Amino acid sequence: MGNAQQRAIRSYRARLNARGLARFEVLGRDADRELIRALARRLAEDGPDASKLRAAVKETIAGGPSKKGGIVAALRRSPLVGADLDLARPREAGRKVEI
């Protein structure tokens, strides 16, 4: 590549970077090419529609919204469920310490 072409590429990429955009390659099926390009164009607009689309794609990729109550369910599966534990402790004055 000539110097003029390299400068043009650097300038173009700097303008993209200033707009918050990055250039990258994606491997996919040829049939999905236009779909991926259209998706990238819509996400690059960075408006409320792009935010909704971004959230929908993230939710789809993640497999749906995160489930609530995961900690409670784990505690209910604990082997200590139903165990009769004596959690009382003696209330003594303690020992004397010189400071």
Let me know: does 59 contact 65? Beta carbons within 8 Å.
yes
Answer whether residue 66 shows pLDDT above 70: no
Does pLDDT of 10 surpass 90?
Answer: yes
Say yes or no to pLDDT of 88 above 90: no
* Joined tokens for residue 89: 């402790």
Q: What is the pLDDT of residue 12?
A: 93
pLDDT band at 79 (very low <50, low <70, confident <90, very high): confident
85 vs 28, which has greater pLDDT? Answer: 28
Q: Is the pLDDT of residue 64 over 80?
A: no
Residue 65 has a pLDDT of 65
Q: What is the overall mean pLDDT for the chain?
A: 88
Question: d(Cα 68, Cα 23) in Å, to the nearest integer?
Answer: 37
**Alpha-carbon span 82 to 76, nearest angstrom:** 10
Centroid of chain to Cα 41: 21
